[in-house]
Amino acid sequence: MVCTPSLDATSLETLLAAAVAAPSIHNTQPWRFRVNPDTHALEVRAARERSLPMADPDGRAQHLSMGAAVFNLRVAAVHLRRQPEVRLLPDPSEPDLIAVVRLGGAIGPHDRSRRRLDLYDAIARRHTSRMPFTGRPVPGPVVMEMSEAARAEGARLRLPDIAGTRRLLHLTAVAEARNHASSSRTAETRAWITPPGSDRPYGIPVTALGPPDAARRMPARDFTGPLPALHLPALRFERHAQVALLWTAHDRRKDWLQAGQALQHVLLTATAYGVRTSLLHQAMEWPDLRAAIGHPRRPCCPQLLIRFGYGPDGGRTPRAGGWETADRPAER
């Protein structure tokens, strides 16, 4: 690995630790990182071997996940008091090169790009929580800040009322039932669940899964199916869930990467205010249901449903280093 004065080993470790902490579909961590020996820039590349052909044939969710990692790199760069310079999809002849990130000029103590909220601190504290929430509503100003976070990245949050929420959860439940009925989709999902004691650095440990909703209102993804040993007793989820639909105006790879950055900006903003989050992606995995989620009068490209509220923290999920082998920082 080549380290320049502007990208030393300690900075690299800070950047990478932040990047790999990002959420990813089924914790596939579909990224790899490398320092370009000629330009000394940090490259984010797609790890195609960790894609989901059934749930995500176009790689849209994979791009959302990689976009979230890019956002964490930006936050970590600011934490290092350096201006992040990011180019998305910089080379059409290299489709797996997702982003190039450089540390630009120094950020002074009064620079406006230093965020008021400590999003860096939130990176390590954010975990998907699939547990029931208390039902205490998240205050309007916090929700507005989450909405502005999405907008800052070129995406939007739709905040539905009770009827709109019920509709989105119903479409998610329809998708969940279809996933359940598909043996190939169920097999793909289960392949990413890891049993207790496993040292696999990818996938979701059973300890991070949530219980089913006793009132059957919350169509959380059933990762394990009818395996009796993995079944948790049902609990009652919040009666009026708060959800936000993350959407973009267009549906190109660049939009997916922007949506991923928006997702992470929203999740870290929520975390900074003590708000827990979980994600419902099932309806996005069926083209007709995804289209139905789009607003009938104001068409949009739905990307992900975010559930938020107050409640217990989520269980921990493992992470791999994320380096291409030759680029792993030397032991110090």
Ligand X SMILES: Cc1cc2nc3c(=O)[nH]c(=O)nc-3n(C[C@H](O)[C@H](O)[C@H](O)COP(=O)(O)O)c2cc1C
Which helix (H) or strand (E) element contains residue 43? strand 42-46
Please report how close the Cβ of residue 9 comes to ligand X at its closest, in angstroms. Answer: 25
Rounded least distance, CB 219 to ligand X, Å? 10
Near ligand X by CB under 6 A: residue from 304, 309, 311, 322: 304
| CB closer to ligand X, 127 vs 290 | 127
For helices 140-152 and 253-272, what crossing angle results, to 10°? Answer: 150
Query: If you write DSSP's letter for every residue of 172-231 in order, what string do you get?
Result: HHHHHHHHHH-HHHHHHHHTTEE-TT---SSSEEGGG--PPBTTS------SSTT-GGGP
Tell me which stretch binds ligand X (CB under 6 A): 24-32, 42-50, 88-96, 147-155: 24-32
172-211 footprint of ligand X as x/- string (CB under 6 A) = --------------------------------x-------
When asked if residue 23 is in the footprint of ligand X (CB under 6 A), the reply is yes
**Residue 32 · residue 97 · CB < 8 Å:** no
- Minimum distance from residue 201 beta carbon to ligand X (Å): 12
- Residue 306: CB minimum distance to ligand X, A: 10
Shortest distance (Å) from residue 290 CB to ligand X: 13
Distances (CA, A) of 132 to 14, 153, 175, 213: 33, 29, 21, 8
Residues 65-84 that bind ligand X (CB under 6 A): 65, 68
* Cα separation, 135 vs 216, whole angstroms: 16
Q: Report the residue number whose CB is nearest to ligand X.
A: 23
Closest CA to 99 of 159, 46, 163: 46
3-class SS of residue 40: coil
Relative to beta strand 82-88, strand 156-158 is unpaired
User: Minimum CB separation from ligand X for residue 7, in Å?
Assistant: 26
Inter-residue contact 16 to 323 (CB < 8 Å): yes
Exactly one of 261, 317, 322, 327 binds ligand X (CB under 6 A); that residue is 317
Check residue 25 for interaction with ligand X (CB under 6 A).
yes
Cβ atoms within 10 A of the Cβ of 183, count? 9
Identified binder of ligand X from the candidate list 16, 44, 61, 266, rule CB under 6 A: 61
Applying CB under 6 A, does 271 fall inside the site for ligand X?
no
Query: Any contact of residue 219 with ligand X (CB under 6 A)?
Result: no
Identify the residue whose tokens are 């979701």.
204
User: Residues with Cβ < 8 Å from 66, sequence gap 6 or more?
Assistant: 30, 31, 44, 46, 98, 99, 257, 260
Q: How far is CA 221 from CA 130, 156, 185, 322, in A?
A: 9, 24, 12, 26
Q: Which stretch binds ligand X (CB under 6 A): 112-120, 123-131, 155-163, 250-258?
A: 123-131
Whole-angstrom Cα distance, residue 24 to residue 22? 6
- Please tell me the distance from the alpha carbon of residue 158 to that of residue 244, in angstroms, as a whole number: 6
Nearer to ligand X, 315 or 329 (CB): 315
Stretch that binds ligand X, among 19-27, 35-43, 45-53, 140-148 (CB under 6 A): 19-27
> Residues 223 to 252: which contact ligand X by CB under 6 A?
none
Smaller CB distance to ligand X: residue 7 or 186?
186
Q: Contact between 221 and ligand X (CB under 6 A)?
A: yes
Task: Candidates 279, 283, 289, 301: give the one binding ligand X (CB under 6 A).
Answer: 279
Distance (Å, whole) CA 233 – CA 69: 34
Q: Which residue from 257, 272, 280, 301 is in contact with ligand X, where contact means CB under 6 A?
A: 280
- Please report, as ranges, the residues that interact with ligand X according to CB under 6 A: 23-27, 61, 64-65, 68, 127-128, 130, 204, 221, 278-282, 304, 314, 317
